Amino acid sequence: MTKQSFALFLSAILSVATLGYWASMQAQAQTQRQQTTPPKFTSFKDAGKLRIQGNNKPFMPSNLGQSAKPNEGGTRGIPDQIDDRIPMLSRKYPWSTIGRVQGTTADANSYHCTGALIAEDIILTNAHCVIDPETGKLSQRIQFLPNVIDGQVQDTRDVAEVVDVVYGTNFKDGAKLDANDWAVMKINKPLGRKYGYLGVKSVASSTLIRNQKKYFFVGYSRDFPSSKYQQFFTAGAGWTASFQAGCSILKEEANFLLHDCDTAGGSSGGPIIALVDGEPYVVALNEGEVKNSSTKQDLFNVAVKIDFLDK
């Protein structure tokens, strides 16, 4: 089955929900009144050979410190096992590299996704976090808020504007899922010097599938923190990232990766991370969830391969 026929097949019989929180923008959007210059958008086909400073290797600032515990830095009295996912509360590396992508649509509505620093001024996310798949319109403003916890960044001066975007697809083939649903965004501040950045590695699908329950995922899902956490967080859902360990890449289908990490709207562009020789690398990029169109039950989640770096 070809990539296009697989995507059209899913669109025909299943409900495919991309996770950038585009679908419910009209109901919960906020108007952005500040006038800014829109980012420059370039199709990957027109960008030439893409070079990312840092050679795709991870970087931890020497003064930042590292932690294996994403909830280190304050438990807020949250009891154990209140949710399968746990809140990302740490300001240390590598959790510091992940942030909230805040966008404004062509008609001045607000949405959000997840993104990760992969160089000192480069963010990796989904293409549908910079282009509305339904209309094909480009976002008018995109910001990156690093390491947001309960709606707060460490320093408001670290909120960065996206100035350049290279995207892998414009969704003009009509499919709701696209195996090239990725984007790299250049920001106007070298935040990676302060927050560090993740490595990026293209790994054979067979290797990813063979290593079950070895990956972890972070995303600013719209359903997290859930109502169970209301007494611990005041900023609301989507303003503290969730962390899940023990994810698996289940299979590859027509150039898509199917995975079992817990996701919801807002976690689009969230990194699926593996430890390679003890260092964190993005090995896949969360894209969307596939639901049964009748029962609305989640069937599986879809991720984008990182092999665009090899092309």
The pLDDT of residue 143 is 97
pLDDT at residue number 76: 52
Report the chain's mean pLDDT, rounded to a whole number. 83
Whether the predicted model's global pTM rises above the 0.75 cut: yes
Comparing C-alpha atoms, which of 55, 147, 70 is closest to residue 101? 147
Tell me the pLDDT tens digit for each residue of 222-271.
Answer: 988 877 777 788 888 899 999 999 999 999 998 999 999 888 889 999 99
Is the per-residue pLDDT at 129 higher than 50? yes
What phi, psi does 163 have (nearest 5°)? -110, -25
| pLDDT tens by residue, 10-61 | 454 444 555 455 443 332 333 344 557 899 888 887 766 566 666 789 999 9
Q: Catalogue all structural domains in the chain, each as residue range(s) with its CATH number.
A: 3-310 (2.40.10.120)
Residue 26, pLDDT score: 33
| pLDDT number for residue 12 | 45
Look at 10-14, 239-243, 284-288, 302-306 and tell me which has the smallest mean pLDDT.
Answer: 10-14
pLDDT at res. 185: 96
Q: What amino acid is encoded at 40 in this protein?
A: K
